[in-house]
Amino acid sequence: MQKQAIFQSKLLPYALVAPQLAIVLIFFYWPALQAVIQSFLLQDAFGLSTSFVWFENYVELFKDPAYFAAVVRTFFFSFAIAISSLSFALLLAVMADKPLRGSMLYRTLLIWPYAVAPPVVGVLWIFMLHPSLGVISRYLRAAGVDWNPLLDGNQAAGLIILAAAWKQISYNFLFFLAGLQAIPKSVFEAAAIDGARPMRRFWTVTFPLLSPTIFFLLVVNIVYAFFDTFGIIDTMTRGGPGTSTVTLVYKVYSDGLLGGNLGSSAAQSVVLMIMVIVLTGIQFRFVERKVTY
């Protein structure tokens, strides 16, 4: 369906899109351009001289084992967050879809965490799992677990994944619930009469019919884990201990703003920008393909 508006004046349409364009230009294209330019420059430690170094920042970056480690870590985090968040949200959605008393109440409660800002999520989980302050930490230690995410990199990584996945469950839950409710009840009833037990019914009917939703959410969750976990990491671990929770986005921040290596930080931003473009492209393709089964 094509919608065409006819304007009397040639200038009016330009005037109407101008505010939006101005915002995008000032807050996205201008900084992006700055980053691209910065990524080709090298500054001395005191900021006294700047020289144009072509791709040296990129070459250094790709040779740096710490960067490579951050790439691997980011992908691991993303998949761990996406998979755990998706599977738990799906479980909750399947439960909440059943006709139970008070379903509106717990559906609302399940959606609430989405309204919590990532840094707040970080703080909440710290209160529960901080080695000396945390409520749960006491029980963990009492149970004989050597719980100290401030020193143990794997525990810190687990903590980040836990908090980030928890935050995203609400969003996934909402989409899964909508997806489940879009499937006619009679299809499940037909499967029940056809002799499929609940587990088999889930894997042969519910899951395939939700696959478009699952693909869409997988992309959204990976993008989230890539870019939106900064607040959680910054409040919970600040990338530590060591570099065990430094993701690509956090590395841009710590190398540039904390480490003062603006050239490398800019080069990293440009790499990230390219990743965003690719992921967004994939996302659009999935959103537009409405029926995939």
Give one DSSP letter per residue of 125-161, joined into a string. Answer: HHHHH-TTT-HHHHHHHHTT----TTT-HHHHHHHHH
Please state the closest distance from residue 184 (CB atom) to other proteins, in A: 6
Maximum pairwise Cα distance, the chain: 78
Q: Report the residue number, 105 or 143, with the smaller CB distance to other proteins.
A: 105
Q: Are 163 and 128 in contact (CB under 8 A)?
A: no
Could you identify the residue written with the tokens 């395939």?
Answer: 208
Please state the closest distance from residue 211 (CB atom) to other proteins, in A: 8
Q: Report the residue number, 7 or 207, with the smaller CB distance to other proteins.
A: 207
Q: Are 221 and 168 in contact (CB under 8 A)?
A: yes
Q: Report the residue number, 205 or 223, with the smaller CB distance to other proteins.
A: 205
Give one DSSP letter per residue of 60-101, joined into a string. Answer: HHHH-HHHHHHHHHHHHHHHHHHHHHHHHHHHHHHHHTS--T
List interacting residues with other proteins (CB under 8 A). Answer: 184, 186-187, 189-197, 200, 204-205, 208-209, 211, 291, 293
DSSP 291: -
Geometric angle at alpha carbon 75, from 70 and 79, rounded to 5°: 145
Q: Report the residue number, 138 or 200, with the smaller CB distance to other proteins.
A: 200
Q: Report the residue number, 104 or 193, with the smaller CB distance to other proteins.
A: 193
Please state the closest distance from residue 185 (CB atom) to other proteins, in A: 9
Could you identify the residue written with the tokens 């094509």?
Answer: 2
Here the tokens at position 33 are 């351009």
Does a cis peptide bond (omega within 30 degrees of 0) precede residue 212? no
Q: Report the residue number, 122 or 179, with the smaller CB distance to other proteins.
A: 179
Geometric angle at alpha carbon 195, from 194 and 197, rounded to 5°: 130
